[in-house]
């Protein structure tokens, strides 16, 4: 029997099971829709998953970035380094606090921020010029944070790891230790997003992880208006204070995630390893199918001593006729996507002085990149269809 199957295949997609639905319904019927027990549970399970000491659940990944910038006191005098190949939010969080974003070009072999170029920049400016850097585990490929930390320590920088693409990713450091993205070993803070295209979906949602207690306490406060009831943190901790007493100690926000969404996040997180396995299988099949072509270009150690474990949020190929392939796939209901238009070329960042031509590696990467469908429920049949169409076009 040959029936012509019609597919509609996006580049990324959430996977909601009956268990997920049950978890949300149970929370809807429980006492707390927000500020309840699901928040602590999500935080402690997520911290366990990535191997960090602390985790702070927030309303989305962008809020996570903003809170991190606030907690690190980013202000009008701050200059912060990041990559142009990322989602705009990685840079915008610095602008929210009035700081200056300083882009550094990518390494064409990995498409991650080029830490040698970061070093050159740091060397060619007086110490103290830069306050921090926001490396991004783009696509799910972990940045070598051990190397970033060395630079950060030498030049007095903090590090926010934007790990939105990489929960479950890791690299092996020089001491032969596995360093999971967001574990807080080298970065001061790390952030994640639970937008439906990411590994773990809660609709909207985000998480900050850290091993620093002082930053953790600050983030918890900033997430909810700068208010605390924690007796250890109160400025006026008098025996005569009633049970209602709280202090708003600094200007914070309402960046809370509701329990309803935390429950969905917890349920999704319980399948994280299984879903990661699926992503690896899909990546393996693409690798195999394209091994005799020139479209797979990333060079990084996949095995052995310096192994990097790619979390495969995205499976990116590079091809000369990118627009042709993109359009051809769309005609076949395959909705590949482009990640990313370099942030410095966005009109907003151009209005701040950046221009096309500033970061040649990022711009040439952008000219040819295309993200193929990559999500755990992509079937082998669907993937074969994608592979067949890609190969027939190129
Ligand atoms: C998704 C994403 C964000 C923002 O997360 P939201 O939850 O959508 O606010 C930030 N950085 C990167 C790299 C992302 O992919």
Atom of ligand 1 nearest to the CA of 193: 7
End-to-end CA distance of the chain: 30
132-158 mean pLDDT: 98
Could you tell me which residue, 297 or 200, shows the higher pLDDT?
Answer: 200
β-bridge mates for residue 262, sequence order: none
Q: Which atom of ligand 1 is nearest to the CA of 138?
A: 13
Please tell me if the CB atom of residue 136 comes closer than 6 angstroms to any atom of ligand 1.
yes
Cα 45 to middle of ligand 1, angstroms: 21
Most informative mutation of 58, 86, 90 for ligand 1 (most atoms within 8 A of CB): 90
Residue 87 beta carbon below 6 angstroms from any ligand 1 atom: yes
Rounded to whole angstroms, what are the CA distances from 72 to 92, 235, 237, 348?
15, 21, 26, 24
CA distances from 343 to 2, 12, 69, 262, 340 (A): 46, 21, 18, 30, 8
1 pLDDT tier (thresholds 50, 70, 90):
very low
Q: What is the distance in A from the centroid of ligand 1 to the CA of 47?
A: 19
Q: What is the mean pLDDT of residues 246-275?
A: 98
For 303-331, the pLDDT digits (tens) are: 888 999 999 999 999 999 999 999 999 99
Residue 193 Cα, ligand 1 centroid: separation in angstroms?
Answer: 6
The 3-class SS string of the chain reads CCCCCCCCEECCCCCCCHHHHHHHHHHHCCCCCECCHHHHHHHHHHHHHHCCCEEEEECCHHHHHHHHHHHCCCCCCCEEEECCCCCCHHHHHHHHCCCEEEECCECCCCCCECHHHHHHHHHCCCCCCCCEEECECHHHCCCCHHHHHHHHHHHCCEEEEECCCCCCCEEECCCCCEEECCCCCCCCEEEEECCCCCCCCCCCCEEEEECCHHHHHHHHHHHECCEECCCCCCCCCCCCCCCCCCEECCCCCECCCEHHHHHHHHHHHCCHHHHHHHHHHHHHHHHHHCCCCCCCCCCCCCCCCCCEECCCCCEEEECCCHHHHHHHHHHCCEECECCCCCHHHCHHHHHCCCCCCCCHHHHHHHHHEEEECCCCCCCHHHHHHHHHHHHHHC
Contact 104, 113 (CB under 8 A): yes
- Substitution candidate for ligand 1 out of 89, 139, 255 with most atoms within 8 A of CB: 89
Model confidence at 280, in pLDDT bands (50, 70, 90)? very high
Question: Helices 380-393 & 322-331, crossing angle to 10 degrees?
Answer: 130
Asked if residue 206 has its Cβ within 6 Å of ligand 1, the reply is yes
Instruction: State if residue 195 touches ligand 1 by the CB under 6 angstroms criterion.
Output: yes
- Is the pLDDT reported for residue 3 higher than 70? no
What is d(CA 161, CA 190) in angstroms, rounded to the nearest whole number? 4
Query: 194 C-alpha to center of ligand 1: Å?
Result: 8
**CB of 311 sitting under 6 A from ligand 1:** no
The answer, yes or no, to whether any atom of ligand 1 lies below 6 A from the CB of 86, is yes
Work out the pLDDT band at 297, boundaries 50, 70, 90.
Answer: confident
60 lines ligand 1 (CB under 6 A): yes
Q: Does the model's pTM come out above 0.85?
A: yes
Rounded to the nearest whole angstrom, what is the distance from the C-alpha of residue 196 to the centroid of ligand 1? 11
- CA-nearest residue for atom 3, ligand 1, is 61
Ligand 1 pocket, 147 CB below 6 A? no
Per residue in 13-29, pLDDT (tens digit) is: 999 999 999 999 999 99
Asked if residue 164 has its Cβ within 6 Å of ligand 1, the reply is yes
Mean pLDDT across the chain: 96
Q: Is the pLDDT of residue 296 over 90?
A: no
Phi-psi region of 111 (alpha: psi -120 to 50; beta: other; left: phi over 0): left
Q: Which of 195, 313, 341 to mutate to test the pocket of ligand 1 (most atoms within 8 A of CB)?
A: 195
- CA 103 to chain CA centroid, Å, is 18
Pairing of strands 158-162, 189-193: parallel
- Spatial CA neighbour of 50 closest among 152, 157, 149, 145: 145
Q: For residue range 47-80, list pLDDT tens digits in order.
A: 999 999 999 999 999 999 999 999 999 999 999 9
Determine the Cα–Cα distance for residues 15 and 6; give it in Å rounded to an integer: 20
> From residue 370, how far is each of 163, 352, 373 by CA, in Å?
20, 28, 10
Find out whether the beta carbon of 78 lies less than 6 Å from any atom of ligand 1.
no
Using CA positions, which residue lies closest to atom 4 of ligand 1? 61
Contact (CB, 8 A) for 161 and 336: no
Residue 237 pLDDT > 60, yes or no? Answer: yes
- All domains in the chain, ordered by first residue: 9-104+112-393 (3.40.640.10)
Question: What's the CA gap between 368 and 363, in Å, rounded?
Answer: 9
92 ligand 1 Cβ < 6 A: no
Closest CA to 208 of 92, 47, 41: 47
pLDDT computed for residue 363 by the predictor: 98
List C-alpha distances in Å: 368 to 106, 167, 340: 15, 26, 11
- The residues facing 192 across adjacent strands are 207
Give me the mean pLDDT over the 225-243 stretch.
92
Q: Which atom of ligand 1 is nearest to the CA of 60?
A: 7
pLDDT band at 4 (very low <50, low <70, confident <90, very high): low
Residue pLDDT, tens place only, 82-111: 999 999 999 999 999 999 999 999 999 999
**What count of Cα atoms within 13 Å lies in the side-chain half-sphere of residue 194?**
29
């Amino acid at each position: 029997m040959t029936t012509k199957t019609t597919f509609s295949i996006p580049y990324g997609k959430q996977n909601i099971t009956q268990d997920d639905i049950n978890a949300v319904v149970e929370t809807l019927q429980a006492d707390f829709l927000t500020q309840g027990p699901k928040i602590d549970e999500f935080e402690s399970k997520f911290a366990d998953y990535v191997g960090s000491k602390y985790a702070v659940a927030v309303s989305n990944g962008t809020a996570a970035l903003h809170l991190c910038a606030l907690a690190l006191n980013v202000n009008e005098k701050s200059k912060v380094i990041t990559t142009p190949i990322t989602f705009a939010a990685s840079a915008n969080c610095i602008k929210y606090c009035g700081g200056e974003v300083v882009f550094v070009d990518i390494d064409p072999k990995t498409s991650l921020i080029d830490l040698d170029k970061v070093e050159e920049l740091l060397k060619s400016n007086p110490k103290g010029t830069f306050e921090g850097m926001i490396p991004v585990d783009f696509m799910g490929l972990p940045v070598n944070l051990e190397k970033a930390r060395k630079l950060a320590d030498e030049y007095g920088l903090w590090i926010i790891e934007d790990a939105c693409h990489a929960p479950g990713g890791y690299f092996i450091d020089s001491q032969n230790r596995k360093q999971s993205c967001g574990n807080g070993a080298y970065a001061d803070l790390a952030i994640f997003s639970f937008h439906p295209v990411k590994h773990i979906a809660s609709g909207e949602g985000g998480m900050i992880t850290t091993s620093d207690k002082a930053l953790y306490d600050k983030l918890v406060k900033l997430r909810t208006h700068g208010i605390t009831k924690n007796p250890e943190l109160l400025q006026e901790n008098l025996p005569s204070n009633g049970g209602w007493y709280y202090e708003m100690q600094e200007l914070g926000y309402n960046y809370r995630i509701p329990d309803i969404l935390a429950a969905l996040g917890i349920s999704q997180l319980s399948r994280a390893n299984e879903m990661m396995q699926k992503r690896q299988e899909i990546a393996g099949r693409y690798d195999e199918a394209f091994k005799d072509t020139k479209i797979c270009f990333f060079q990084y150690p996949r095995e052995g001593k310096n192994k990097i474990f790619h979390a495969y949020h995205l499976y990116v190929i590079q091809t000369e006729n990118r627009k042709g392939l993109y359009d051809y796939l769309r005609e076949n209901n395959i909705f590949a996507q482009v990640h990313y238009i370099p942030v410095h070329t966005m009109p907003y960042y151009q209005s701040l002085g950046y221009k096309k031509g500033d970061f040649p590696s990022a711009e040439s990467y952008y000219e040819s990149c295309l993200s193929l469908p990559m999500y755990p429920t992509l079937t082998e049949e669907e993937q074969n269809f994608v592979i067949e169409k890609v190969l027939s076009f190129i």
